[in-house]
């Protein structure tokens, strides 16, 4: 029988009988929506001499040429003693097995991913907490990150979050306490609790393991510090600073903090663009204050003199207290907010630390150790002793009114009263800076109004 042609196939009508292309290749004519289709199959005798058939394709979806190629391949298999139908069945089984293996592998992978998610480590939790919460803090979370990475993660960082118990946290806190840093223990407990509460809020764990741990049992009960410098100590401080081998900017910082009642962090991050020496004002933006509220400090004669001296010795056009090194991006930045505090503390030690100043007791006053924050408290106390109203003092300290109604409706900023408060404080400090031989009438001990 002559081979079929494409023209003959196109001429077929619905209902036409079977067609043959020779060599056991037969086609069944089927009516479709688009006309007719011819389903071809190869008929042969299998290994058991039983008549079998395999599909070679459907025209016109496949070309006649392609259908004949499939037919020829099957005929070759038969000549080699192979059964095409059995080969096709084996191929389908293999595909099915490969698919099943792939499905099993994917299921195993997903199970492992789920297991890892369920077994989140404390280090993983910290990284997520830091990215979401810590970065929003004023210092970008740098100080909190430093403390957690130093004490928390080395102790429990590799543990699964769900495996951490209060005993693990307690052991970590005891180790910190053994270094003799009680207040830091409480800070670390607070940070650890914040981190685990973050995990609870994300449903990583059901309960915070630090819930029953109390600060009093580890760092001890924290009491509000009340240290203020007496007027005699302020005179003493003036003398001691001269021989304490402090850098001049740091020495001036002491008097600026005392005369403006500012925080050490506010001064460390101050920029010259916020200081107007002619207008005698220092603007502290909300980004630099503890409560986020901006403050404009009216500079007394005494405070202005400190700023002018600082201007004369500074090398930075931007920062009042520039860092000695560039930041990670190669830009000039301000000193670390703890730098001034460390310099002052290093000069009130029993013995020097390695690589630090040898002037260990140069700033130790007759009333005991003091901190930069004590200068802020001392300035506020002097204002009270000089008759400044307590509400005005609170404004100078940039304290936010706790009564919400008063905060909302009493908007008066009392700039004039605040300027006067800084003025009388500066005048008193100027008197206390006179040589000891000059007479300075001591202030009576009065209570703040």
- What tens digit of pLDDT does each residue of 298-342 get? 999 999 999 999 999 877 899 999 998 888 778 899 998 889 999
Give the pLDDT band (50/70/90) at residue 85: confident
Q: Does 314 lie in the same domain as 397?
A: yes
448 is a domain residue: no
194 is a domain residue: yes
Mean of pLDDT values over 125-131: 92
| DSSP-derived 3-state class of residue 349 | coil
Q: Does 270 lie in the same domain as 390?
A: yes
Number of Cβ within 10 Å of residue 61's Cβ equals 11
8 Å CB contact between 171 and 155? yes
Largest CA distance in the chain: 137
Q: What is the CATH number of the domain that holds 39?
A: 3.30.160.390
Number of Cβ within 10 Å of residue 153's Cβ equals 17
Q: Where are the alpha helices (DSSP H) in 227-289?
A: 231-243, 248-260, 264-268
pLDDT of residue 283: 97
Q: What is the pLDDT of residues 150-196, one digit of tens each?
A: 999 999 999 999 999 999 999 999 998 888 777 788 889 999 999 99
8 Å CB contact between 148 and 126? yes
Residue tagged 């792939």 (tokens): 102
Of 276 and 224, which is predicted with more confidence? 276
Owning domain of residue 47: 6-89
Q: How far apart are CA 19 and CA 3, in angstroms?
A: 10
8 Å CB contact between 346 and 358? no
Let me know if 183 is exposed, middle or buried by CB neighbors in 10 A (0-12, 13-18, 19+).
Answer: exposed
Q: How far apart are CA 101 and CA 94, in angstroms?
A: 10
Q: Does 207 lie in the same domain as 246?
A: no
Q: What is the pLDDT of residues 12-57, one digit of tens each?
A: 888 888 889 888 889 899 988 888 999 999 999 876 778 889 999 9
Q: Does 162 lie in the same domain as 29?
A: no
Q: Cα-atom radius of gyration of the chain, to the nearest Å?
A: 42
- Domain total of the chain: 3
Q: How far apart are CA 394 and CA 412, in angstroms?
A: 13
Q: What is the CATH number of the domain that holds 210?
A: 1.10.150.130
Give the pLDDT band (50/70/90) at residue 100: confident
Q: What is the pLDDT of residues 276-289, one digit of tens each?
A: 999 999 999 998 99
- Say yes or no to pLDDT of 448 above 50: no
| DSSP-derived 3-state class of residue 55 | strand
36 is a domain residue: yes
pLDDT of residue 126: 93
Q: How far apart are CA 229 and CA 236, in angstroms?
A: 10
Residue tagged 């001499």 (tokens): 49
Give the pLDDT band (50/70/90) at residue 4: confident
Plot region of 49 (φ>0 → left; ψ -120 to 50 → alpha; else → beta): left
Stretch (H or E) spanning 43:
strand 35-45
Packing angle, helices 415-432 and 301-313, rounded to 10: 70
- Say yes or no to pLDDT of 133 above 90: no
How distant is the alpha carbon of residue 9 from its chain centre? Answer: 73
Q: What is the pLDDT of residues 424-434, one digit of tens each?
A: 999 999 999 88
pLDDT of residue 344: 92
* Residue 309 phi, psi (nearest 5): -65, -40
8 Å CB contact between 363 and 374? no
Mean of pLDDT values over 252-256: 96
Q: Does 330 lie in the same domain as 263?
A: yes
Which residues face 334 on adjacent strands? 322
Of 327 and 129, which is predicted with more confidence? 129
| DSSP-derived 3-state class of residue 86 | helix
168 is a domain residue: yes
Which residues face 209 on adjacent strands? none
Q: Does 302 lie in the same domain as 405?
A: yes
Q: How many residues does the chain have?
A: 449
116 is a domain residue: no
Q: How far apart are CA 410 and CA 404, in angstroms?
A: 10
Percentage helix, strand, coil for the chain under 3-state DSSP, each rounded to 5:
50, 10, 40
- Say yes or no to pLDDT of 411 above 60: no
Q: How far apart are CA 268 and CA 321, in angstroms?
A: 6
Nearest alpha carbon to residue 205 among 146, 119, 326, 134: 119
Q: Does 237 lie in the same domain as 213?
A: no
* Residue 34 phi, psi (nearest 5): -95, 5
Q: How far apart are CA 64 and CA 6, in angstroms?
A: 7
347 is a domain residue: yes
Q: Does 333 lie in the same domain as 238?
A: yes
């Amino acid at each position: 029988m002559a081979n079929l042609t494409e023209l003959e196939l196109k001429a077929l009508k619905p209902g036409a009988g079977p067609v043959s292309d020779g060599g056991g290749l037969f086609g069944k004519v089927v009516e479709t929506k688009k006309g007719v289709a011819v389903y071809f199959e190869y008929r042969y005798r299998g290994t058991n001499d039983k008549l079998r058939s395999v599909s070679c394709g459907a025209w016109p979806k496949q070309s006649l040429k392609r259908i004949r190629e499939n037919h020829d391949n099957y005929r070759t298999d038969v000549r080699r003693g192979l059964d095409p139908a059995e080969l096709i069945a084996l191929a389908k089984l293999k595909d099915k097995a490969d698919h099943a293996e792939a499905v099993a592998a994917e299921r195993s992978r997903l199970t492992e991913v789920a297991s890892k998610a369920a077994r989140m480590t404390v280090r993983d939790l910290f990284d997520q907490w830091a990215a979401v919460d810590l970065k929003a803090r004023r210092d970008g979370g740098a100080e909190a990150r430093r403390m957690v990475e130093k004490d928390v993660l080395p102790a429990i960082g590799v543990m699964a979050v769900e495996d951490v118990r209060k005993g693990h946290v307690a052991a970590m806190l005891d180790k910190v306490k053994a270094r003799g840093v009680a207040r830091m223990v409480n800070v670390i407990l607070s940070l650890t609790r914040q981190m685990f509460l973050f995990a609870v809020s994300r449903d990583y764990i059901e309960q915070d393991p630090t819930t029953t741990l109390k600060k009093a049992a580890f760092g001890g009960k924290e009491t509000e510090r009340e240290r203020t410098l007496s007027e005699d100590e302020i005179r003493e401080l003036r003398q001691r600073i001269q021989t304490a081998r402090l850098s001049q900017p740091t020495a001036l910082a002491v008097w600026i903090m005392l005369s403006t009642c500012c925080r050490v962090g506010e001064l460390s991050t101050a920029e010259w663009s916020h200081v107007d020496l002619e207008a005698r004002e220092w603007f502290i933006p909300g980004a630099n204050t503890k409560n986020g509220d901006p403050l404009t400090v009216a500079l007394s004669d005494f405070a202005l003199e400190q700023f002018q001296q600082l201007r004369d010795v500074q090398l930075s056009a931007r920062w009042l207290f520039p860092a000695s090194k560039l930041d990670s991006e190669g830009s000039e930045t301000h000193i670390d907010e703890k730098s001034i505090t460390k310099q002052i503390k290093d000069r009130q030690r029993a013995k020097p630390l390695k690589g630090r100043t040898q002037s260990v007791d140069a700033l130790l006053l007759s009333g005991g150790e003091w901190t930069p924050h004590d200068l802020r408290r001392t300035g506020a106390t002097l204002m009270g002793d000089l008759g400044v109203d307590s509400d005005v003092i609170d404004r100078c300290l940039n304290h936010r009114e706790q009564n919400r109604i008063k905060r909302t409706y009493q908007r008066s900023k009392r700039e004039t009263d605040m300027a006067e408060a800084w003025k009388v404080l500066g005048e008193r400090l100027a008197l206390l800076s006179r040589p000891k031989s000059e007479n300075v009438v001591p202030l009576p001990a009065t209570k703040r109004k």
